Amino acid sequence: MPSRPLMKTLLVPTLAAMLSLAPGHAPAVSSWAGDLTPVTAAEWNAARAAHLLERAGFGGTPEEVQALAALGPAGAVRRMVYFEGAPEASLPAFDESGVFDEALDDFPASRPATTDLARSQGEAIGVRVKPAGNRRMQPVVNKFFYWLRASRLETHRLGYWWANRMLVTPRPLEEKMALFWHGHFATSEEKVRDYRKMLGQLQFLQAQGLGDFRTLLIGVAQDPAMLAFLDAAVNVKGAPNENFAREIMELFSMGVGNYTEHDIREAARAFTGWNFEGTRFRVDDDRHDDGVKTLLGRAGPFDGVGVIDVILEQPVTADFIAGKLYRYFVREDLDPALQRRLGALLRDNGYRIAPFMETLLSSRDFHAPESVATRIKSPVELAVSTYRKLGLAEVPGVPDFNDATGALGQKLLYPPTVAGWAQGRSWVTPGLLLERGNFALDVLFPDISYIPEDRYPVSYTGAEIRAVHERVRAGQDITTATKPLDKYGGGNMMSMSNMNVDRDEDFNTRFASYRGWQMAIERVKPIPRTLARLDLTGMVRSAGCRTADDAVRYLEGRFLTVALDEPTRRELADFLIRELGTGDLEAAESFAEDGLRLLLHLIMSRPEYQLG
């Protein structure tokens, strides 16, 4: 078990030197591109280990890179893919707030549907209609909005739970595969409106992400979150709804153009009756069309599983999935011939993901200059890898993880559509590039103006809710208190002569929105707003840095995946010297922290920081 503490201080210059010597200035197509044979021990080094850790995980500290490098090329990949030698991930289960009750299980599709149900049954979602008085359905509608808010806030906590796992797990590929599959089998709580289903789907992806694709596809097709998201319940015998079948074929398995409309219609028939009850999959046999279907050249009384098997028989399916994995983990540019080879590889492995990933991540193609440091980190990867490289043990509460990554275009558990997130260069626009640098500043110099939105509603209806809150407490009647705000001046709120008359109505939506919020935050556990406790001085000093130049090289090696050029290093070092009034870190030790943080912000603001 080689451990090399003495190597630490020499590690950084070596890494940086290796990075700049890495065949990144080679001609158009390198000799390693397209070569799936594994990299040999002679070709293995710390830079390659860093690249592996970056792609199969979320990057790591120099110590973690060194430990991975010491395993050799085959051992390192087996460690990442099969967790050989990795400690048990004794990570805490999701700590539920306890916002759910059984009556919410069959949640109506909309507020009008809820109030219609209440009108006809005398109750809905576990709340009875009041027998007398004004706004007899108010409690029902309050609970409706309570659940929307509570499920959303709990899903934000779920995002935090997942981000924390990404940060500390000794098995990062497990979480990275879940992230990949989450973008592939995209499901958003926005529509699902049930954090329990999102948790169930996430746990399934974490458990099966490196398993076999058949289990994954069937599991997702029977997953309550997915069934809710794609309106599977309306797909019934005699009235098949194509949406579910279409997305399974177009987005999840075969890719557009590899089936006909007829195939989709037949597949839809096979999925009829597939439904869910709460968090469990259920088949309504009387709604299932058990007749013979013909699709993709096969005929039979297929049910959903049968159709999935037919889909898996198609060569194009393995090609599609293999291609998607390659583009995510290696690089965007994939020529059709290589894609077919990868598809064959996946097929020959019985659609098992782990051996496929082992080949991919061991290959010379993976380590070719075309593949190394050419990938733009998604917002979640950027945030998690930043925290990992800072050596944090928990995801900070400020900046809020979901707000930060959401502002950069990716919020966990809320993909914009069923097509997931467009990857690669889509992550970066001029404004977003500036925003990524602003995220770094928020980590290093926290925003003291930050107000947590799980205690102080801000977005969307936030201002309205707060206005209702103030007015109701001031003793106004509900009609007056819920008059819409006029944000742009010219408030005409007292102009109506019936202003002070409390309207006779079944319920007031705006009041319900307010009360629902209040009920939700009473139940949902707060996200702890801890800040990253950083000690960059200790970090660079214990790495043996003595001068400003050392600090620049060390931070460059630790945080970037490419090398800067000498003039840039010079500028950065001169910056630090100006800040500290000296280039001697030892002399400046007691006051170097601010300067080092500014220096790190400058490094993290470089366009190169987006590369992984």
Is position 233 an interface residue for another protein (rule: CB under 8 A)?
no
Is position 133 an interface residue for another protein (rule: CB under 8 A)?
no
Among 133, 297, 431, 475, binds another protein (CB under 8 A): 431
Q: Which of residues 154-213 bind another protein (CB under 8 A)?
A: 190-191
Is position 438 an interface residue for another protein (rule: CB under 8 A)?
yes
Binding mask 369-408 for another protein (x = CB under 8 A): x---xxxx------------------------------x-
Longest dimension (CA), the chain: 87
Taking the least distance from each CB to another protein, the nearer of 283 and 472 is 472
Residue 454 in tokens: 């799980």
CA 583 vs CA 87, 161, 167, 444: distances in Å: 42, 42, 34, 22
Is position 416 an interface residue for another protein (rule: CB under 8 A)?
yes
Taking the least distance from each CB to another protein, the nearer of 111 and 128 is 111
Residue 177 in tokens: 């595969």
Q: How far is the CB of 404 from another protein (least distance, A)?
A: 12
The residue type at 249: M
User: How many helices (DSSP H) and strands (DSSP E) are in the chain?
Assistant: 28, 6
Mark the segment that binds another protein (CB under 8 A) among 99-107, 176-184, 248-256, 279-287. Answer: 248-256
Is position 608 an interface residue for another protein (rule: CB under 8 A)?
yes
Q: Which of residues 539-568 bind another protein (CB under 8 A)?
A: 562, 564-565, 567-568
d(CA 220, CA 52): 28
Is position 243 an interface residue for another protein (rule: CB under 8 A)?
yes
CA 557 vs CA 12, 48, 65, 386, 401: distances in Å: 6, 13, 11, 13, 25
Q: What is the four-CA torsion angle of 490, 494, 497, 503, rounded to 10 degrees?
A: 110
Q: Which of residues 45-84 bind another protein (CB under 8 A)?
A: none
Is position 96 an interface residue for another protein (rule: CB under 8 A)?
no
Q: How far is the CB of 55 from another protein (least distance, A)?
A: 14
Among 325, 330, 602, 604, binds another protein (CB under 8 A): 602
Taking the least distance from each CB to another protein, the nearer of 333 and 470 is 333
With CB under 8 A, what is the number of residues at the site for another protein?
A: 78
Among 95, 261, 285, 286, binds another protein (CB under 8 A): 261
Is position 450 an interface residue for another protein (rule: CB under 8 A)?
no
Please check whether residue 58 is in contact with residue 390, taking contact to mean a CB–CB distance below 8 angstroms: no
Q: How far is the CB of 421 from another protein (least distance, A)?
A: 9
Taking the least distance from each CB to another protein, the nearer of 66 and 410 is 410
Q: How far is the CB of 296 from another protein (least distance, A)?
A: 15
3-state SS, residue 83:
coil
Is position 238 an interface residue for another protein (rule: CB under 8 A)?
no
Mark the segment that binds another protein (CB under 8 A) among 45-53, 217-225, 272-280, 433-441. Answer: 433-441
Angle between helices 195-208 and 138-168 (to 10 degrees): 20
Among 29, 292, 434, 499, binds another protein (CB under 8 A): 434
Taking the least distance from each CB to another protein, the nearer of 77 and 560 is 560
Q: How far is the CB of 518 from another protein (least distance, A)?
A: 18
Among 106, 333, 348, 522, binds another protein (CB under 8 A): 333
Task: Give which of 275, 196, 205 is closest to 235, Cα–Cα.
Answer: 275
Residue 563 in tokens: 């090398």
Residue 112 in tokens: 């009008």
Task: Give which of 376, 383, 425, 426 is closest to 402, Cα–Cα.
Answer: 383
Is position 536 an interface residue for another protein (rule: CB under 8 A)?
no
d(CA 240, CA 238): 6
Q: How far is the CB of 550 from another protein (least distance, A)?
A: 18
d(CA 177, CA 191): 23
Please check whether residue 412 is in contact with residue 157, taking contact to mean a CB–CB distance below 8 angstroms: no
DSSP bridge pairs for 345: none
Mark the segment that binds another protein (CB under 8 A) among 208-216, 392-400, 424-432, 515-523. Answer: 424-432
List phi, psi (to 5°) of 261.
-60, -35
Is position 251 an interface residue for another protein (rule: CB under 8 A)?
yes
Residue 547, Cβ neighbours under 10 Å: how many? 16
Please check whether residue 169 is in contact with residue 213, taking contact to mean a CB–CB distance below 8 angstroms: no
d(CA 110, CA 99): 19
Is position 577 an interface residue for another protein (rule: CB under 8 A)?
no
Residue 399 preceded by cis peptide, ω within 30: yes
Binding mask 467-506 for another protein (x = CB under 8 A): ---------------xxx-x-xxx-x---x------x-xx
Residue 5, Cβ neighbours under 10 Å: how many? 8
Binding mask 18-47 for another protein (x = CB under 8 A): ------xxx---------------------
Residue 142 in tokens: 């309050």
d(CA 611, CA 331): 12
Q: How far is the CB of 183 from another protein (least distance, A)?
A: 12
Taking the least distance from each CB to another protein, the nearer of 84 and 332 is 332
Among 217, 508, 549, 551, binds another protein (CB under 8 A): 508
Alpha helices in 91-194 (DSSP H): 111-121, 138-168, 172-184, 189-192
Residue 525, Cβ neighbours under 10 Å: how many? 15
Is position 344 an interface residue for another protein (rule: CB under 8 A)?
no
Residue 369 preceded by cis peptide, ω within 30: no
Q: How far is the CB of 341 from another protein (least distance, A)?
A: 18
